[in-house]
Amino acid sequence: MAKETGTGKLIASNKKAYYDYFIDEKYEAGLVLHGTEVKSLRQGKCSIKESYIQVADGEVFVMNMNITPYEKGNIFNKDPLRPKKLLLHRSQIQKLAAHTAQKGFTLVPLQVYFNRGRVKMEIGLARGKKLYDKRESIAKKDQLRAAQKEFKLRNL
Protein backbone atom coordinates (compact mmCIF):
# COMPACT_ATOMS: atom_id res chain seq x y z
CA MET A 1 0.00 0.00 0.00
CA ALA A 2 2.17 2.91 1.19
CA LYS A 3 5.89 2.72 1.79
CA GLU A 4 8.02 4.57 4.31
CA THR A 5 10.32 7.35 3.08
CA GLY A 6 12.76 9.59 4.89
CA THR A 7 10.14 12.34 5.17
CA GLY A 8 7.13 10.19 6.03
CA LYS A 9 4.73 7.65 4.59
CA LEU A 10 4.67 7.75 0.78
CA ILE A 11 1.18 7.64 -0.76
CA ALA A 12 1.79 8.31 -4.46
CA SER A 13 4.77 9.03 -6.67
CA ASN A 14 5.00 10.46 -10.20
CA LYS A 15 7.97 8.71 -11.82
CA LYS A 16 6.91 9.84 -15.30
CA ALA A 17 7.63 13.46 -14.32
CA TYR A 18 11.34 12.66 -13.99
CA TYR A 19 11.27 11.06 -17.45
CA ASP A 20 9.42 13.91 -19.16
CA TYR A 21 10.97 16.91 -17.38
CA PHE A 22 14.19 18.33 -15.94
CA ILE A 23 13.34 19.18 -12.32
CA ASP A 24 15.08 22.47 -11.42
CA GLU A 25 13.65 23.13 -7.94
CA LYS A 26 11.50 21.21 -5.47
CA TYR A 27 9.01 22.59 -2.96
CA GLU A 28 6.95 21.01 -0.19
CA ALA A 29 3.34 22.15 -0.06
CA GLY A 30 0.45 21.28 2.21
CA LEU A 31 -2.88 20.14 0.77
CA VAL A 32 -6.34 21.44 1.73
CA LEU A 33 -8.51 18.30 1.98
CA HIS A 34 -11.75 17.10 3.54
CA GLY A 35 -12.02 14.30 6.11
CA THR A 36 -13.05 11.47 3.80
CA GLU A 37 -10.26 12.38 1.36
CA VAL A 38 -7.68 12.01 4.12
CA LYS A 39 -9.15 8.64 5.12
CA SER A 40 -8.92 7.49 1.52
CA LEU A 41 -5.29 8.68 1.34
CA ARG A 42 -4.49 6.69 4.50
CA GLN A 43 -5.58 3.62 2.50
CA GLY A 44 -3.20 4.67 -0.30
CA LYS A 45 -5.88 5.44 -2.89
CA CYS A 46 -4.45 8.34 -4.83
CA SER A 47 -3.14 8.96 -8.35
CA ILE A 48 -1.10 11.96 -9.53
CA LYS A 49 0.03 10.62 -12.92
CA GLU A 50 -2.16 12.91 -15.01
CA SER A 51 -2.28 15.84 -12.63
CA TYR A 52 -0.78 19.28 -13.09
CA ILE A 53 -0.42 22.44 -11.03
CA GLN A 54 -1.86 25.86 -11.82
CA VAL A 55 -1.20 29.27 -10.28
CA ALA A 56 -4.30 31.50 -10.31
CA ASP A 57 -5.04 34.74 -8.41
CA GLY A 58 -2.15 34.30 -5.99
CA GLU A 59 -3.20 30.74 -5.13
CA VAL A 60 -1.83 27.38 -6.26
CA PHE A 61 -4.12 24.48 -7.21
CA VAL A 62 -3.45 20.89 -8.21
CA MET A 63 -5.80 19.78 -11.00
CA ASN A 64 -6.84 16.22 -11.98
CA MET A 65 -5.42 14.65 -8.82
CA ASN A 66 -7.57 11.57 -8.33
CA ILE A 67 -8.43 10.62 -4.75
CA THR A 68 -10.72 7.58 -4.82
CA PRO A 69 -13.88 8.19 -2.74
CA TYR A 70 -13.83 6.62 0.73
CA GLU A 71 -16.06 3.51 0.81
CA LYS A 72 -17.74 4.39 4.12
CA GLY A 73 -18.01 8.11 3.42
CA ASN A 74 -21.47 8.08 1.72
CA ILE A 75 -22.79 11.68 1.50
CA PHE A 76 -19.57 13.24 2.80
CA ASN A 77 -17.48 12.14 -0.21
CA LYS A 78 -16.28 14.91 -2.50
CA ASP A 79 -15.68 14.82 -6.26
CA PRO A 80 -12.50 12.73 -6.78
CA LEU A 81 -11.09 15.09 -9.44
CA ARG A 82 -11.95 18.43 -7.81
CA PRO A 83 -9.16 21.07 -7.75
CA LYS A 84 -7.26 20.94 -4.45
CA LYS A 85 -5.57 24.01 -3.01
CA LEU A 86 -1.88 23.86 -2.15
CA LEU A 87 -0.50 25.75 0.83
CA LEU A 88 2.71 27.68 0.18
CA HIS A 89 4.26 30.90 1.45
CA ARG A 90 3.33 34.03 -0.51
CA SER A 91 6.94 34.60 -1.61
CA GLN A 92 7.13 31.05 -2.97
CA ILE A 93 3.84 31.50 -4.86
CA GLN A 94 5.08 34.76 -6.42
CA LYS A 95 8.35 33.13 -7.42
CA LEU A 96 6.55 30.13 -8.97
CA ALA A 97 4.11 32.41 -10.81
CA ALA A 98 7.02 34.39 -12.29
CA HIS A 99 8.81 31.22 -13.42
CA THR A 100 5.72 29.61 -14.96
CA ALA A 101 5.03 32.82 -16.88
CA GLN A 102 8.32 32.18 -18.73
CA LYS A 103 8.17 29.91 -21.72
CA GLY A 104 9.22 26.31 -21.09
CA PHE A 105 8.64 26.16 -17.32
CA THR A 106 5.81 24.26 -15.67
CA LEU A 107 4.86 22.93 -12.25
CA VAL A 108 4.46 19.18 -11.79
CA PRO A 109 3.50 17.11 -8.73
CA LEU A 110 6.25 14.65 -7.77
CA GLN A 111 5.04 12.91 -4.58
CA VAL A 112 2.19 12.83 -2.09
CA TYR A 113 3.07 11.70 1.43
CA PHE A 114 2.25 12.03 5.12
CA ASN A 115 4.61 14.13 7.24
CA ARG A 116 3.80 14.19 10.98
CA GLY A 117 0.16 13.32 10.27
CA ARG A 118 -0.28 16.00 7.61
CA VAL A 119 -0.69 15.36 3.89
CA LYS A 120 2.10 17.02 1.92
CA MET A 121 2.88 17.22 -1.78
CA GLU A 122 6.33 17.65 -3.27
CA ILE A 123 6.08 19.81 -6.38
CA GLY A 124 8.78 20.55 -8.90
CA LEU A 125 9.54 23.52 -11.10
CA ALA A 126 10.30 21.73 -14.35
CA ARG A 127 11.51 22.27 -17.91
CA GLY A 128 10.31 19.91 -20.63
CA LYS A 129 12.74 17.41 -22.14
CA LYS A 130 13.20 16.97 -25.86
CA LEU A 131 13.17 13.50 -27.43
CA TYR A 132 16.96 13.30 -27.60
CA ASP A 133 17.16 14.18 -23.87
CA LYS A 134 14.79 11.30 -23.08
CA ARG A 135 16.92 8.91 -25.14
CA GLU A 136 20.01 10.14 -23.29
CA SER A 137 18.43 9.49 -19.88
CA ILE A 138 17.38 5.99 -20.99
CA ALA A 139 20.94 5.25 -22.14
CA LYS A 140 22.35 6.47 -18.79
CA LYS A 141 19.92 4.24 -16.90
CA ASP A 142 20.91 1.24 -19.02
CA GLN A 143 24.62 1.91 -18.43
CA LEU A 144 24.07 2.21 -14.68
CA ARG A 145 22.03 -0.99 -14.59
CA ALA A 146 24.71 -2.87 -16.56
CA ALA A 147 27.47 -1.57 -14.28
CA GLN A 148 25.54 -2.65 -11.17
CA LYS A 149 24.93 -6.09 -12.66
CA GLU A 150 28.62 -6.49 -13.55
CA PHE A 151 29.66 -5.35 -10.05
CA LYS A 152 27.28 -7.83 -8.47
CA LEU A 153 28.63 -10.70 -10.61
CA ARG A 154 32.25 -9.86 -9.75
CA ASN A 155 31.61 -9.74 -6.02
CA LEU A 156 29.82 -13.06 -5.66
pLDDT in tens, 59-113: 999 999 888 887 776 776 777 788 889 999 999 999 989 888 888 888 999 999 9
Q: How far apart are CA 117 and CA 119, in angstroms?
A: 7
Q: Which residues on neighbouring strands pair with residue 4, listed in sequence order?
A: 9
For residue 2, pLDDT over 60 is answered with: no
Q: Quote the CATH superfamily of domain 3-129.
A: Small protein B (2.40.280.10)
Provide the whole-model pTM: 0.76
Q: What confidence score (pLDDT) does residue 108 get?
A: 92
Q: What confidence score (pLDDT) does residue 3 get?
A: 55
Q: What confidence score (pLDDT) does residue 135 get?
A: 87
Q: What is the pLDDT of residues 12-48, one digit of tens each?
A: 888 888 888 888 889 999 999 888 888 888 888 888 8
Q: What confidence score (pLDDT) does residue 134 get?
A: 80
For residue 5, pLDDT over 70 is answered with: no
- Residue pair 21/119 in contact (Cβ under 8 Å)? The answer is no
